[in-house]
Structure 1
Amino acid sequence: MSVPVVLIHGLWLHASSWQPWVELFRERGYRPVAPGWPGDAPTVEQTRANPDALAGHGIDDVVAHYAAIIEDLPERPILIGHSFGGMIAQKLLGLDLGAAAVAVDAAQIKGVLPVPLSALRSGSAVLSNPANRHRAVSLTPEQFRYAFGNAVTERESRELYDRWSIPAPGKPLFEAASATFNPHSPAKVATGNASRGPLLLIAGGRDHTVPETVVRATLKQYRHSQAVTDFVEFPDRAHSLTIDSGWREVAETCLTWLKEQNL
């Protein structure tokens, strides 16, 4: 029986943005699924039309949502997450709910300091207004260009925005931003779990939203665990690396790593 794979999107992207990955992983013999977050509608257009369905969902809600999906699978899946989806994948792996995880440009977990200025700017569309904690917020094409598409052409960035962007709940960003001051922060990950499956952290060297320094700082959080924790950097890639014209190189890197883990 082929191994299940759960693909977890992050803020401002619809789950359907994983479709090329779903097709590639299926071709390679896996059983991939790409469920949306709580409140996501089946399509980009339907999700944009009802942003209130997304509002108010925090990190714990999303973890519980994917844990319930995993519970219905015949075996522990491989978890692949991007941005906040990468944080969610790490949390699920730390809870021993995954056979392995790949966290691509993962949002910073509790313990990772400081927050680079470019990351603050990328999140400013939400964090600039405290009321956004309880809202769903959309990016403008210009904000998307800075946060996601700065390493591709302006035309490609706009095409990605038009095709995949959706409103995002503000709550996870506020939870991550306050993690340092909250001992029970939902951004906390069981980084010391020595019995968990292997983890691959992927960074984009030109990422404004989750700079490479954040991913390296995340790697250090796992220094007390004997479980496999690997790191790969794509120096010329930014936050759109899972959805832009270079997505396949990232996906093939994941597939190669999974083979090395006998998965």
Structure 2
Amino acid sequence: MSVIPQHTLDEIAEVNASGLTPVVFIHGLWLLPSSWDRWAEVFKAAGYAPITPGWPDDPETVEEANAHPEVFAGKTVGQVADHYAEIIGKLDKQPAIVGHSFGGLLAQILAGRGLSNVTVAIDAAPFQGVLPLPISALRSASVALGNPANINKAIPLTYDQFRYAFANAVDEDEAHQLYEEFAVPAPAKPLFQAAVANFNPWSEVKVDHDNAYRGPLLVIGGEKDHTVPTAITEANYKIQQKNSGVTEYAEIPGRGHSLTIDSGWLEVANTSLAFVQRFAER
């Protein structure tokens, strides 16, 4: 059982007191919960109760995260999924879940456990059964995977690595701004787990995509994403499409992996909100 920080427990209490449908936002690698702050305001204005919990031990600020990268080290996909499941278990109402990158993978894992009434997975990291391995995805992951000794470490991105993996579809000035405002170290272990998921029958990087209680799912991809290219997102969608529930796909033209935080974030937020409004219990 993970330790839920007091500020998250306070958020849970506030959400429950509101009586509104919660929306749980899950970030991916190299970002913090603060990357969802603007999204939370949009969903709150639409009548939902947003909550942005971190991964276990997440620092509260980018400055703190960069000063103490060791707190990220060693986190596994299973550990983080269980952490979010515990948080969701404390909510009075079943939430909608919105996740980006590894957060999109986690959102689908939680939906597969029947914990979400509607899910949005944005540029989601691949799960077991998703087979494409485009060169750009391998290059983005090589920051960690290039050295097996990294497996239990926290790995930061240089600006050039961030520019390629996240900010390839924005101009240089915006890329620098995004790097300074959002980039933090990340655990390498989830990348190693994802890399071998199709060869490990006991992998934690597994989604129960057949569960009839999965709920409606929207899979979103950025057309120019290097980290999770269209081939991965489409393969994810095709597997999830076999579920008996609603499964939809949206590609955001001209966008890279930074699509949730860059200057075009509102388009993606509104696309996600429209899907949640169609299906979330109110």
| TM-score, L = length of structure 1 | 0.98
Q: Percent identity?
A: 52
Per-residue deviation at 1:52? Answer: 1.1
Summarize the alignment of residues 108-187 of structure 1 with structure 2, pairs less than 5 Å apart: 108-187=126-205
Per-residue deviation at 1:262? Answer: 4.8
Aligned-partner Cα distance in 2 for 1:248–1:168: 25
Superposed CA deviations along residues 119-177 of structure 1, whole A, max 9, x for unmatched, are: 00011110001111100000000000000001000110110010011100000000000
1:51 aligns with 2:46: no
Secondary structure at 1:79 match in 2:
strand
Summarize the alignment of residues 9-24 of structure 1 with structure 2, pairs less than 5 Å apart: 9-24=27-42
Aligned-partner Cα distance in 2 for 1:243–1:89: 18
Superposed CA deviations along residues 218-241 of structure 1, whole A, max 9, x for unmatched, are: 111124311111100012111000
Instruction: Give the structure 2 partner of residue 85 of structure 1.
Output: 103
Aligned-partner Cα distance in 2 for 1:163–1:203: 23
Which deviates further from its counterpart, 203-212 or 222-231? 222-231
Contact 2:55–2:80, Cα closer than 8 Å, also in 1: yes
Per-residue deviation at 1:110? Answer: 0.6
Aligned counterpart in structure 1 of residue 209 of structure 2, from 187, 191, 201? 191
Q: How many residues align?
A: 263
Superposed CA deviations along residues 97-138 of structure 1, whole A, max 9, x for unmatched, are: 111110000001110112100000011110001111100000
Structure 2 counterpart of 1:29, one-letter code: G
Superposed CA deviations along residues 167-194 of structure 1, whole A, max 9, x for unmatched, are: 0000000000000110111111001112
Aligned-partner Cα distance in 2 for 1:262–1:156: 34
Structure 2 counterpart of 1:154, one-letter code: E
Per-residue deviation at 1:243? Answer: 0.2
Summarize the alignment of residues 246-257 of structure 1 with structure 2, pairs less than 5 Å apart: 246-257=264-275
Structure 1 counterpart of 2:228, one-letter code: V
Structure 2 counterpart of 1:250, one-letter code: V
Give 5+ residue unaligned stretches, structure 1.
none
Aligned-partner Cα distance in 1 for 2:185–2:22: 28
Instruction: Give the structure 1 partner of residue 86 of structure 2.
Output: 68
Pair 250,223 (structure 1): closer, same or farther in 2 beyond 3 Å: closer
Instruction: Give the structure 2 partner of residue 25 of structure 1.
Output: 43
RMSD: 0.9
Secondary structure at 1:134 match in 2:
coil
